[in-house]
Amino acid sequence: MISVNLLAMFYLISGVLFILALRGLSSPETSRQGNFFGILGMSIAVVVTFLSIGNFSISFVYVIAFLLIGGSIGAIIAFKIPMTAMPELVAGFHSLVGLAAVFVAISAFLNPDAFNLGTIGNIKLASLIEMSIGAAVGAITFSGSIIAFLKLRGIMSGAPITFPGQHILNLIILISIIGLTYFLCATQSSSLFWTLILISFLVGILLIIPIGGADMPVVISMLNSYSGWAAAGIGFTLENTALIITGALVGSSGAILSYIMCKGMNRSFFSVIMGGFGGTDQVIQSNNKEQKPVKSGNSDDAAFLMKNASSVIIVPGYGMAVAQAQHALREMVDTLKKNGVKVSYAIHPVAGRMPGHMNVLLAEANVPYDEVFELEEINNDFANCDVAYVIGANDVTNPVAKTDPQSPIYGMPILDVEKAKSVLFVKRSLSPGYAGVDNDLFYRENTLMLFADAKKMTEDIIKSF
Amino acid sequence: MEIDPFVFRLSIFILSIFVGYYVVWSVTPSLHTPLMSVTNAISSVIIVGAIIAALAGKGNVIFNQASIFGYLAIILAAVNIFGGFLVTQRMLAMYKKKKK
């Protein structure tokens, strides 16, 4: 047994190590050390918890066994998962944190003695409120992440599901949750506690189904934030500093990422939550534009243009991930570099299905990170570049965002691809992107459309060199 | 009058939100995916609650109503801890600088 104060000191150390883990991510050089700090902090927290309980009986063996079972499942997933599936994986992991928070809250409710929270039917008021918040937010995180997972995985359609009275229903449920918490505190009734959890599961589902595929980066970040607040709620219940610090860190981290993603799309957080964006009903307006002349080319044209260029900027998007074209792309770039062409990559904040997704895919294909640039860093360079190679991106290059106040994507920061001397646009058809808006770039004088699968086209270009 | 310990915890919580705010803004955008996976892993420190719940069984009773939820939470959190840190490690190992 170690003393309560010593225990609290160790939890504080864990919390500080977690802060250092996030701090490490400020640059790729320090990031690996940061991850090590995180692992260290976690090990300290787990070991001192065992020491504080000091119960090394048969149940301890079970705990270790369950820990190893979970750990091996996690390890297998971590090594097997392809990098293109990171968004689903993160959504799946969020759901587990949420459910774990619910389970811990339940066992604290069923056995408050163990946590020094009072006795059954007579739990301290503050603890009961904290427990309810932790359980409710955890349950919302769990079911919301499951829906996000299903949508990202393609098991459920990415189209928003809306029905009349949806917002009013959500409001009623929200009020009923507050009411339930109040009566739970007054009566300590376990059936109210279970109802609270069930309703929270329902809220999570209702919250995520109206949000369309295009807003997935916001959804993932938002659920990341929720999982943090759930952890913090449980941290208050258990009076555990490490958990409170971590919950606050994760909560604010997810909130900041949601903000960055919303800004990248010029959408307010509120309108994302209300949902309905990214459906098919907005496509109609673009039909009359289809007759405009479009120049299309083949891999030989593209190879010729790029080989004779002095600088090329690559604009990757989600389509590149779907086609698994990142390795072919890097090969193409290697050939170009051998020919003395200067190549860089331009990443839009919302490219892909989660924050930073494109960067990971490019890193996987051995693209050095100092050749990859963010929107603000590279946007002025398009005017001086010879060729922009757009592969799998669409909405984030649409000049309409700057010119047409009627457009749904008006005001969204975009990559100034149209300023390049020539634009090579790899796409399977002229269909609009996720936002349902026709891309003006297709019909520009300096644009050459390459109609093909992203990977196939890139490989053909390599052959044509 | 003594200050309620809750107030201390609340102070820690509020200050940590600010720490998180500044630390996360300094994270480079190219590492936002690892940021999400590592925050996932560290928020699974909730496992300490699960361990306490699991080991709280009285006497020789290993599995009772309350501890079963503790054991289940241990599995879930452990998947996340190992999965989260390892996948972050795997991603970070891929970020390389240009060969000079």
Q: Do A63 and B74 touch (CB under 8 A)?
A: yes
pLDDT for res A313: 94
Contact of B31 with A359, CB cutoff 8 Å: yes
Q: Do A35 and B19 touch (CB under 8 A)?
A: no
Chain A contact probe: residue of B24, B25, B45, B94 with most A CBs at under 10 A? B45
Complex confidence, ipTM: 0.94
Q: Of A17-21, A320-324, B53-57, which range is least confident? A: B53-57
> How far is it, in rounded angstroms, from Cα A319 to Cα A129?
46
Domain membership of residue B12 (yes or no) is no
Angstroms from A356 CA to nearest CA on chain B: 5
Angle (nearest 5°) at CA B86 between B85 and B87: 95
B89 touches chain A (CB under 8 A): yes
Contact of A233 with A247, CB cutoff 8 Å: yes
Percentage of the residues of chain A whose pLDDT score is greater than 70: 96
* Greater pLDDT, B26 or A266: B26
Express each pLDDT in A82-119 by its tens digit. 998 999 999 999 999 999 999 999 999 998 888 888 88
pLDDT for res A91: 95
Domain membership of residue B50 (yes or no) is yes
Residue A275 pLDDT > 80: no
A260 chain-B contacts, CB cut-off 8 A: 29, 32
Quickly tell me which residue has 């699968």 as its tokens.
Answer: A453
CA proximity to A243, closest of A8, A6, A2, A70: A8
pLDDT for res A316: 93
Q: Which domain holds residue B83?
A: 29-95
β-strand partners of A345: A314, A372
Domain membership of residue B91 (yes or no) is yes
Residue B82 pLDDT > 90: yes
| Residue B80: pLDDT band with limits 50, 70, 90 | very high
Contacts of B96 (CB under 8 A, 6+ apart): A363, A366, A368, A369
Which of A17-21, A353-357, A432-436, B3-7 has the largest mean confidence?
Answer: A17-21
A371 chain-B contacts, CB cut-off 8 A: 98
A78 chain-B contacts, CB cut-off 8 A: 82-84, 86-87, 90
Domain membership of residue B15 (yes or no) is no
Q: Is A270 exposed, middle or buried (0-12, 13-18, 19+ CB in 10 A)?
A: exposed
Domain membership of residue B17 (yes or no) is no
Contacts of A419 (CB under 8 A, 6+ apart): A382, A383
pTM as predicted: 0.90
Looking at the structure of chain B, the number of domains it has is: 1
Domain membership of residue B13 (yes or no) is no
| Residue B58: pLDDT band with limits 50, 70, 90 | low
Residue A457 pLDDT > 70: yes
Angstroms from A143 CA to nearest CA on chain B: 15
Angstroms from A296 CA to nearest CA on chain B: 33
Express each pLDDT in A122-137 by its tens digit. 888 888 999 999 999 9
Read off the amino acid at residue A407. S
| Residue A281: pLDDT band with limits 50, 70, 90 | very low
Contacts of A101 (CB under 8 A, 6+ apart): A134, A135, A137, A138, A141, A227, A230, A231, A233, A234, B46
Domain membership of residue B3 (yes or no) is no
Q: Of A212-216, A258-262, B48-52, which range is least confident? A: A212-216
B82 chain-A contacts, CB cut-off 8 A: 70-75, 78
Q: Do A53 and B51 touch (CB under 8 A)?
A: yes
CA A306 from centroid of its chain's CA atoms: 34
Q: Between A46, A96, A244, which is nearest B80 by CB?
A: A96
| Residue A286: pLDDT band with limits 50, 70, 90 | very low
H helices of chain B, in order, are 5-25, 32-43, 47-54, 65-94
> How far is it, in rounded angstroms, from Cα A80 to Cα A358?
19
| Residue B100: pLDDT band with limits 50, 70, 90 | low
Domain membership of residue B89 (yes or no) is yes
Please provide the average confidence, as pLDDT, over all residues in chain A. Answer: 88
A294 touches chain B (CB under 8 A): no
Express each pLDDT in A165-199 by its tens digit. 888 888 898 899 999 999 998 888 888 999 999 99
Which of A72-81, A112-121, A313-322 has the largest mean confidence?
Answer: A72-81
B34 chain-A contacts, CB cut-off 8 A: 25, 31, 35, 356, 360
Phi-psi region of A128 (alpha: psi -120 to 50; beta: other; left: phi over 0): alpha
Catalytic positions of A, written as ranges: 395
pLDDT for res A231: 93
For residue A191, count other CB atoms closer than 10 A to its CB: 9
pLDDT for res A276: 61
Q: Which pair of tokens denotes residue A67?
A: 């820990």
Residue B57 pLDDT > 80: no
A337 touches chain B (CB under 8 A): no
